[in-house]
Amino acid sequence: MPYSQVKFDAAIWETVSNIKSGRVMSYGQVARIAGYPRHARMVSKAMGRCQTALPWYRVIRSNFTLAFKEGSNAYIKQRQLLEKEGVRFVNGKVVPLDSDANKDLDELLWGVPDHL
DNA sequence: CCCTTGACTATCT
DNA sequence: GAGATAGCCAAGG
């Protein structure tokens, strides 16, 4: 089957639009779940082509950092949108939802890891 | 064709 | 843990 950008885009948009508020997913995960493994790099392209509203900001790197250059407009916008949904950041990295058990008191109270 | 470029990832040093 | 390296794959020059 030849690569169809139309079908690829549709699959990606579908997957991204299903990410629930306050949750995030990596580019690789989106690509894989959409049925296109190893197409992480293409996910951003597909999202850029989407004309309707899409929760693009819920897609981040596999290492829990944002894909845009830190300090850039896009980075700030994405971070604000995520924080508005309750996503917390520590050291520029998104805090996984169920990691509370692994965090010490200082980090829970102040959002600052002890080892700095 | 060959080469470069990414909103990427995994695996070394 | 920060770099370097090597895969990855579609687009565009």
Closest nucleotide to A38: CA versus each C1'? C8
Full residue range of the structural domain in which residue A82 is found: 5-110
Q: Is residue A115 part of a domain?
A: no
Q: How far is the CA of A112 from the C1' of B8 (A)?
A: 28
Nearest nucleotide (CA of A39 to C1'): C9
Per-residue pLDDT at A72 exceeds 70: yes
Q: Identify the band that residue A109 occupies on the pLDDT scale cut at 50, 70 and 90.
A: very low
Rama region for A96: left / alpha / beta (φ>0; ψ in -120 to 50; rest)? beta
Q: Compute CA distances A103 → A35, A38, A79, whole Å.
A: 35, 32, 21
The structure's pTM equals 0.87
Check whether A40 has a pLDDT greater than 90: yes
CATH number of the domain at A53, please: 1.10.10.10
Largest Cα span, chain A: 53
pLDDT in tens, A89-104: 999 999 977 655 555 5
pLDDT value at A62 more than 70: yes
**Which 21-80 residues of chain A approach strand B with CB closer than 7 Å?**
26-29, 40-44, 47-48, 56-57, 59, 61-63, 67-68, 74
| Whether the Cβ atoms of residue A13 and residue A50 lie closer than 8 Å to each other | yes
Count of domains forming chain A: 1
